[in-house]
Structure 1
């Protein structure tokens, strides 16, 4: 670690213009794990300078997702829009030092400038027409035009950094221009009021003030990094280490994003995935520790030293996620599992208690990848079942109905509702009717459970209320 930082401090800085999507969640996980591994601190910052699109609902969803994943932060949430005075103070200092300047070019003038550059076959860059330089006479600022503030980017030389993921990267300063670091003040703003800062400027001031030592973020920020490094240098601020993570591809091979294909982290929670499974799966999307596939958050923290990060895009694999989640569904405490299933049932409009659900989860959890799937199984105990008309016509025939009625009578007579007695009633019915077990079991499953396949029938029926089983067999 650089001697300019006394401890590791990382951050996650989502924009509240939508939900916390999977790529940001993975970045948050890596940032959190790196800080925890080194005994450092993890900061949550809300980058809400996109005023038109930022919403409180998005902020709430981001915080809920962080809490669900267990990514506890040591500071925050810190909101950029509450720091406008600080940004303005830094901009004033930069202007006074010749590191930034006011630009009065109108959108129409900039469009004409770019069109002329394209006509000459040149790369479109701001031509620095309002940048003060020795011997240069600037035009008189036009009346009625509110200026933006531009950074006086170095004209010559290279920007080089040793990326934590990609290795050494060099970009020549001639490839980048004098970016806008503060927008023009809004209409109706008081004279002298600051304009809202842009991303590349605000993020530097924030990371500087918050003493961020290591920045993990997505590949799409590589092109922003040269500007940010130059701004850090212009401010005389210590430079954090940068690590740019490859994108996550959807199962269709295209990039996951808020606008295409990504699903909210909290949607996975609603769909019955466990936070420890999601963390485990996200961790392996771009990082590895030997051949380990299944590990706890504590194990990841002990292993995650910033090495073994992949340079290649990761592929989102729903089947692999289901496999990982199924592992944790089988492993977690059944009392907690029952609580999650009760919540899933409630989402379906089915009332049940933990005390009712817990004795049943062990029978079905090995068949389920999610708590939602487990709730689908257990719903038959608390709500009516409705096998399809085709299934009823196929399996509940006139030939088998007498056997169902006979079984119902035997089950009704049981004084001890236990699978041993249920198994005996099934055997006696088979002997009396001459049916084979599949010929009786499948109709019973449809009548009582609403489906063709279940675990052992006597074990499944044991968890039903006795009267409910008898009624379903008699009324089908």
Structure 2
């Protein structure tokens, strides 16, 4: 049907890239890559009051972090640019001229205040609050009289009022809209800038977009856009409207459900591979059992036919679990590389050489099985980087005040002090001999030692932790804990 599949992601750069937008970008990208087509990035920046260069930079940065590269768009260029709507005004003027000449568009002189007053009156009277089409009836003389008064005008599309418009949707089937309920919507505002529906149609047509894959919230715009395609004698693209993403309470995903932007998840220690895998499952599934997909798997298996009509529930706990799975798959070198900036930002050290890259790899290995997000490493490992630690009061009361604690710590000190080789095997052998000698359970031996050397009741594996800490710091901390107990 199409020589080449061409899809686009067209965010409005008024803020950061949110989860819903990221999923839309991913589905478009996967569809293009699966079919060997093109993925285009376009910035819909005609809202000059809210669109910013910072937002464009943030969206571009988030897409790059996710690995969703584009074939045409900002920083890349392409044969169908420019790729920012504010640089495409000539395209809209040309299309607008065609519609005006064909009497399919007309000037509207109604001020925003007048429109709002009429809308309220219609609601009070039980009538439709949509635009009543009064400016369509103006004569040329009436138009000139308004313009002599200094009135600005918008341009509206003259919607047909008979018949119906059918949206043929890959995901939802045919969705029928009665033309009688569609108001004459604005094409260009009084300042000359195009509205979303008009600019999107012109851009998608001139960029030869074959498939429009977007959120279900755009479905109500689609009949208006189809009418514009037909009025301009443009070929229709294929439409696919993705299901909503809801929070665990069944309401649209928002900040009340926690982090919602890609940048927040990045800062909170999530891996891009985990985010992509999880986003892919928010509406699409390959089968009932498989949840873990590499990006290569997703490209191979993705299809719009397997996207559900039903809303998807965003489950933070499941995303955390998946992120932990991806963390455990990392090589120790890669994990260490990812953790170093987190440690540096926390002020644990200025550069990796200050602490020693091999020791950092040892620490990374100790926490790899325990963390679901990279940032969890801070609480688990802070004691490694301090010369002196504070024993948490609760830990001291719960563990160090036990009757056996003093004797355990003193024996541990003596045994570790005499070690020549201070590696994990030697440390473990020395400490495992204590329970039998004192005739007490191992947990009543190892917990006081853990609290003494880490300040916590929960830590990475004890013997490996002591090896990383080294003999001098371990003995110093045991001495300090003995002082607390006495």
Matched, 1:381 2:379: no
Q: What SS does structure 1 have at the residue aligned with 2:445?
A: helix
- Structure 1 window deviating more from structure 2 (368-377 vs 32-41): it is 368-377
Superposed displacement of residue 425, structure 1 = 2.3
Superposed displacement of residue 272, structure 1 = 1.2
Superposed displacement of residue 347, structure 1 = 2.8
- 1:208 alignment counterpart: 205
- 1:196 alignment counterpart: 193
- 2:77 alignment counterpart: none
Q: 2:291 aligns with which of 287, 290, 293?
A: 293
Superposed displacement of residue 442, structure 1 = 0.7
Superposed displacement of residue 424, structure 1 = 2.7
Superposed displacement of residue 111, structure 1 = 3.3
Superposed displacement of residue 164, structure 1 = 1.4
Matched, 1:460 2:465: yes
User: Is contact 2:20-2:245 (8 Å) kept?
Assistant: yes
Q: 1:427–1:296: structure 2 CA closer, same or farther, 3 Å change rule? A: closer
Superposed displacement of residue 85, structure 1 = 2.8
- 1:161 alignment counterpart: 167
Q: 1:61 aligns with which of 51, 58, 68?
A: 58
Superposed displacement of residue 116, structure 1 = 4.3
Q: 1:410 aligns with which of 408, 415, 426?
A: 415
What is the alpha-carbon distance in structure 1 between the residues aligned to residue 226 and residue 278 of structure 2? 33
Q: 1:357 aligns with which of 350, 360, 367?
A: 360
Q: What SS does structure 2 have at the residue aligned with 1:367?
A: coil
Aligned length: 463
Q: 1:422–1:268: structure 2 CA closer, same or farther, 3 Å change rule? A: same
- 1:146 alignment counterpart: 152
> What is the root-mean-square deviation of aligned Cα atoms in Å?
2.2
1:4-153 matches, cutoff 5 A: 5-77=2-74, 78-131=83-136, 138=142, 140-142=144-146, 143-153=149-159
Superposed displacement of residue 440, structure 1 = 2.0
Q: 1:43–1:434: structure 2 CA closer, same or farther, 3 Å change rule? A: same
Superposed displacement of residue 431, structure 1 = 5.4
Q: 1:385–1:230: structure 2 CA closer, same or farther, 3 Å change rule? A: farther
Q: Deviations along 1:424-453, whole A, 9 cap, x unmatched?
A: 321454455554422221111111122223
User: Is contact 2:164-2:178 (8 Å) kept?
Assistant: yes
Superposed displacement of residue 33, structure 1 = 0.2
- Structure 1 window deviating more from structure 2 (338-347 vs 171-180): it is 338-347
Superposed displacement of residue 267, structure 1 = 1.0
What is the alpha-carbon distance in structure 2 between the residues aligned to residue 233 and residue 385 of structure 1? 72
Matched, 1:224 2:221: yes
Unaligned 5+ runs, structure 2: 75-82, 482-486
Q: Deviations along 1:353-375, whole A, 9 cap, x unmatched?
A: 34332223233222221222234
What is the alpha-carbon distance in structure 1 between the residues aligned to residue 169 and residue 320 of structure 2? 33
Superposed displacement of residue 46, structure 1 = 1.3
Q: 1:405–1:119: structure 2 CA closer, same or farther, 3 Å change rule? A: closer
1:392-471 matches, cutoff 5 A: 392-397=396-401, 399=403, 400-430=405-435, 433-471=438-476
Matched, 1:176 2:182: yes
- 1:337 alignment counterpart: 335
User: Is contact 2:107-2:155 (8 Å) kept?
Assistant: yes
What is the alpha-carbon distance in structure 2 between the residues aligned to residue 261 and residue 235 of structure 1? 44
